[in-house]
Amino acid sequence: MYYGFDIGGSKMALGVYDSERRLQWEKRLPTPHDSYENFLTTIASMVEEADTRFGLKGSVGIGIPGMPVTDDGTLYAANVPAASGKPVQADLSAMLGREVRMDNDANCFALSEAWDDEFREYPVVMGLILGTGVGGGIIVNGKSITGRNYITGEFGHTRLPVDALNVLGRDIPLTRCGCGQHGCIENYLSGRGFAWVYQHFYSEPLDSKEIVARYRAGDDKAIAHVDRFVELLACCLGSLLTAIDAHLVVIGGGLSNFTEMYQQLPERLPKYLLPVAKVPRIEPARHGDAGGMRGAAFLHLTE
């Protein structure tokens, strides 16, 4: 059995999956903040309960925000303060008597999608999250690419390409990002970026859901905004795909529910790709909030 933990600042969720990658059991508990010892023992107790329930010692994978294993072997996760700066992977492996694998939560999202029954045929899968920020992961032959610093897939912190200035206008403000740089694409392509660009052009503060509702009701401003946004997404995605050359792009996050873009993106992408490049398949994420657990569990599917 494959055990997958999705650990965040408020909760830790455990999903248990069988050899067919089907969910058999799950449990959620609040993420402890009072002590590192309590953090470890809470995870250990959930694993012990699963072992007892299924009569075996399942493999354990953990998805967590931040850098799961830094150079000195410790976790960096700002919103999990009880464990940040601690050797979580080594301590849990010793405590549980089995290898514990850890990865960034965005990589686990991408890994979960890559192991979907329908998507397994694709060797290179790009997971793209359009949510509060912009992130994701790259999966090659069923395994996540973490990179030197676990920042592979931090697509939101690439800068606007020159084509984006043709879409948005050369006078578009290059807003400061939380990472300290200016002009990162997540300030324009995330859910809040979607709303910010609308307000920039039309001086009206609306959230993304209100804008989409107006678009579907035939509002001229919302239609023009969506046309601009999808073109911007196409030119930014084109730059990423020139480097990654994925067979499949799976989109998650709040904006993934804006289904109209799945028809429009393949039509707009070719002009931003190399002439010989084929447009990849582009699909909405299949597993939603369960993706973190699934992907963490599937860290043990490959060596």
Annotated binding site for ATP: 4-11, 133-140
Cα distance between residue 206 and residue 211, in whole Å? 6
Single-letter amino acid code for the residue at 292 = G
Which residue in 229, 225, 124 sits closest to 237, CA to CA? Answer: 229
Which residue in 200, 194, 203, 208 sits closest to 171, CA to CA? Answer: 200
Cα distance between residue 136 and residue 3, in whole Å? 22
Count of CB atoms situated within 10 Å of the CB of 134: 27
Question: If DSSP states are collapsed to H, E and C, what string results for 49-87?
Answer: HHHHHHCCCCEEEEEECCECCCCCCCCECCCCCCCCCCC
Single-letter amino acid code for the residue at 124 = V
Cα distance between residue 250 and residue 237, in whole Å? 12
Binding site, by residue number, is 4-11, 133-140, 157, 177, 179, 184
CA 26 to mean position of chain CA atoms: 21
Cα distance between residue 291 and residue 278, in whole Å? 28
Phi, psi of 64 (to 5 degrees): -150, 145
Task: Give every CB contact of residue 303 below 8 A, 6+ residues apart in sequence.
Answer: none
Binding site for Zn(2+), by residue number, is 157, 177, 179, 184
Q: DSSP secondary-structure letter at 159? A: B
Ordered strands of the 23-30 beta sheet:
23-30, 11-17, 2-7, 59-64, 100-104
